[in-house]
Amino acid sequence: MTSRIIGTGSYTPAQIVTNDDLAKIVDTSDEWITGRTGIRERRIATEENTSHMAVEAARRALENAGMKPEELDLILVGTTSADHCFPSVACEVQGALGAVHASAFDISAACSGFLFAMNALQAFIQARMYRTGLVIGVDCLSKLVDWNDRSTCVLFGDGAGAAVIRAEETGIRHTVMKSDGAKWQVLSCISRTNGNFLNNKDPKLGYLYMDGQEVFKFAVKKVPECIHEVLDESQTEIESIKYFVLHQANYRIVESVAKRLKQPMSKFPMNMERYGNTSAATVPILLDELNREGKLESGDRIVLSGFGAGLTWGATLLEW
Ligand code: UT7
């Protein structure tokens, strides 16, 4: 028994912000951003919040799967930008969808969030606790970045992607998840704290911080490693993989991973040009685009891989 993706959906805000738009608020240029990252524009939430994007992506995934919300047993949301400390985004989604039979909670693994949530759902299904689940990767990092910091604000966008997953005989074949908490400082967003009546602390505003070069080095080393691991452990030839759907942070990272894996760039679809880095949402948005463009056929072998704050990273091998 394993589980299979039977429907995908995604949502990105309507508001497009181009590199030239950002050059009006920080000292940057389209040439720098495109050349260093491959990003040309991103979607930024104006009316939408995190749960709104998650609900829209979920509705589209359910429609794509031909399923009703009442049929869901579990909703897992990978996010680090929930609208509230509590309740979870997953509970908000459950309420908005009317998924009355589903349990719901969030998983915090930053840009690896969708992957970690999907793997958790797979484990619940394998353990026969649930049969049908919804997994969402959603982030609204535009509310966490410092819009005066050109080294980070140009990189991120907002969005959500979702997949409906059901117990089946084929589908997810192997998963690898890793963490290195000793390096948590290289990519972080310190929580807003109010202090308490004893410690007299002032409220602090938390902005996203990233040591870009450290994260870059980590990604180009660890992503190929965990992809090799997931393939070796499942005794799968790398040549049999149709697509490597990687976290969309920087086209140079994707190119470097492709080179290290000795695989052609045609196996590495990319869309960061249009959306930037949407954190937990990059992998499911890209997967949804491939699905809707008819590029995924039954039996195709696909590797999904995410990496990000924590540090966290991982890979999942699945058959479509
Ligand atoms: O999803 C989370 C995972 N995150 C990532 O995967 C990000 C990984 N890191 C990266 O993608 C890259 O490190 C960045 C795109 C963030 C930065 O690229 P880089 O080639 O590592 O540039 P850098 O940080 O070494 O900066 C090079 C120069 C610096 O100027 P000096 O010191 O050489 O004069 C920066 O101040 O570029 C400058 N710079 C900018 N210039 C124009 C930094 N940001 C900008 C900017 N516009 N937006």
**Low-confidence spans in the chain with pLDDT less than 70:** 192, 203-205
Measure the CA–CA gap between 250 and 227, rounded to whole angstroms. 18
Residue-level pLDDT at 314? 98
Residue-level pLDDT at 169? 94
- Catalytic-residue membership of 111: yes
Residue-level pLDDT at 303? 98
249 touches ligand 1 (CB under 6 Å)? yes
Residue-level pLDDT at 136? 98
For atom 29 of ligand 1, the residue with the nearest CA is 151
For atom 8 of ligand 1, the residue with the nearest CA is 216
Bridge-based pairing state of the strands 208-210 and 16-18:
unpaired
Residue-level pLDDT at 203? 65
Whole-prediction pTM value? 0.97
216 touches ligand 1 (CB under 6 Å)? yes
Tell me the fold of 174-183+211-319. Peroxisomal Thiolase; Chain A, domain 1 (3.40.47)
One DSSP character per residue, the chain reads -EEEEEEEEEE--S-EEEHHHHHTTSS--HHHHHHHH---EEE--SS--HHHHHHHHHHHHHHHHT--GGG-SEEEEE-S--SSSSS-HHHHHHHHHT-TT-EEEEE--GGGHHHHHHHHHHHHHHTTS-SEEEEEEEEEGGGTS-TT-HHHHTTB-EEEEEEEEEEESSSEEEEEEEE-GGGGGGEEEPPP----TTT-PPP----EEE-HHHHHHHHHHHHHHHHHHHHHHTT--GGGEEEEEE--S-HHHHHHHHHHHT--GGGS---HHHH-B-GGGHHHHHHHHHHHTT---TT-EEEEEEEETTTEEEEEEEE-
Measure the CA–CA gap between 301 and 76, rounded to whole angstroms. 24
248-296 pLDDT tens trace: 999 999 999 999 999 999 999 999 999 999 999 999 999 999 999 999 9
- Catalytic-residue membership of 52: no
- Catalytic-residue membership of 247: yes
Is there a contact between 226 and 313 (Cβ–Cβ < 8 Å)? Answer: yes
80 touches ligand 1 (CB under 6 Å)? no
Q: Which residues of 286-305 are buried (b: 16+ CB within 10 A; e: fewer)?
A: bbbbbbeeeebeeeebbbbb
The CA-based angle 212-214-216, given to 5 degrees, is 65
35-to-24, 141, 173, 174, 250 alpha-carbon distances in Å: 18, 22, 36, 35, 10
Residue-level pLDDT at 199? 75
Residue-level pLDDT at 41? 98
Decide yes or no: CATH 3.40.47.10 for domain 2-168.
yes
Residue-level pLDDT at 155? 98
Domain boundaries, the chain: 2-168, 174-183+211-319
| Domain 2-168 matches domain 174-183+211-319 at the CATH topology level | yes
Residue-level pLDDT at 19? 98
